[in-house]
Amino acid sequence: MVIEKRAKRIPLQHITGEQEFMGLTFRVNENTLIPRQDTEVLVEEALRELSDGMRILDVCTGSGCILLSLMKYSNECEGIGLDISAKALEVAKENARLLNVQNVDFVESDLFEALENEKVNVGKDRFFDIIISNPPYIESAVIETLMPEVKDHEPMLALDGKEDGLFFYRKIVDKAPEYIRKGGKLLFEIGYNQGEAVRQLMLDKGFTKVEVIKDFAGLDRVVCGNI
């Protein structure tokens, strides 16, 4: 049965139902992106900034692997994960339960919509110390060239970054300053060729100390900056 499914190019992670990420085991299915080692660079960069008791917002949370890893490796932090996919959020909530992560809430939202409409209780104030996101960033025209395991079996909602791949970066950069505490940080995972473009988006919005950080293959992988 497993061999037959793999022969149909169904990802192994969808067959087993799990994937390791940041030394933790996460449930995954066809409704979420499979956590990838490249994304660990984003989490590790956020951990450099994270202190106990901080508030974290994860936009486009998917399986919750980014937010839950940050929560698992810190103390007394509060986290909110936002995603437009209700089915992805079911997976994130199950991962929180299995990892016994407390003080985390996963909310259905089109980017910041739930916060803007006060559909979620953000607690003592509306500001977060860290906003982090691995948004859809693949150019629409490129998706058809991806491996079958990706284009045929991972959710299009989590892949398609529209015409130039930068659609969601523009949206998030534009709104994020309304929700980041002064001195707080915005961190993105990016495609290998998007570093300078996303860096400029952040600079144009008034972010400072904007950096492009490479992954272990030497490719641009993370852009981060302060507000």
Q: What percent of the chain has pLDDT over 90?
A: 68
pLDDT at residue 74 in the model: 94
pTM confidence score: 0.90
Question: For 81-115, how does the pLDDT look when each residue is reduced to its tens digit (9 = 90+)?
Answer: 999 999 999 999 999 999 999 999 999 999 999 99
Is the pLDDT confidence value at 30 over 50?
yes
Distance CA 40, CA 90 (A): 22
Q: How confident is the model at residue 167 (pLDDT cuts 50, 70, 90)?
A: confident
Angle between the N-to-C axes of helices 65-72 and 86-99, in degrees from 0 to 180, rounded to the nearest 10: 20
Q: What is the mean pLDDT of residues 204-208?
A: 96
> What contacts 56, CB < 8 A, 6 or more positions away?
46, 50, 67, 70, 71, 77, 78, 79, 80, 128, 129, 130, 131, 132
pLDDT at residue 202 in the model: 97
Distance CA 93, CA 40 (A): 20
Domains in the chain (CATH in brackets) are 2-226 (3.40.50.150)
Is the pLDDT confidence value at 193 over 70?
yes
Is the pLDDT confidence value at 80 over 60?
yes
Distance CA 169, CA 167 (A): 6
